[in-house]
Amino acid sequence: MQTTSGVCTMAKWIICKDFDVEDFDADGIGDCISTELCWEEYDTEEELLENLQSNLLDENYQPVKLNTLKEYALLYPFRIYKAVDILDVEGKPDV
């Protein structure tokens, strides 16, 4: 958390992964595929990077150890966001 001129800012790192889900609609069109989103939130860039380094596996089930979030974002079809909350001096959202 950073404080500037009585205003605090707090950053969160968010990753959005999308994946296809197969389903069957017995009353309608039958087989169908939809895309669902999975959002995960992290307190620090390092925490997100560590999670990717330990949980993404290659075809031989070995961890994919890249050095930066940018490298992962270029290699994999997910999106990474840095969200900043602006808080007042008391730590409440500045509405």
Residue-averaged pLDDT of the chain: 84
Structure confidence at residue 91 (pLDDT):
53
Note whether 92 and 86 are within 8 A (CB): no
Rounded-to-integer distance, Cα 44 and Cα 26, Å: 45
Chain segment 29-63, per-residue pLDDT in tens: 778 888 899 999 999 999 999 999 999 999 999 99
- Domains in the chain: boundaries: 2-87
% of the chain with per-residue pLDDT over 70: 82
pLDDT at position 81 over 60: yes
Predicted TM-score of the model (pTM)? 0.68
% of the chain with per-residue pLDDT over 90: 51
pLDDT band at 6 (very low <50, low <70, confident <90, very high): low
Rounded-to-integer distance, Cα 28 and Cα 25, Å: 5
Structure confidence at residue 8 (pLDDT):
73
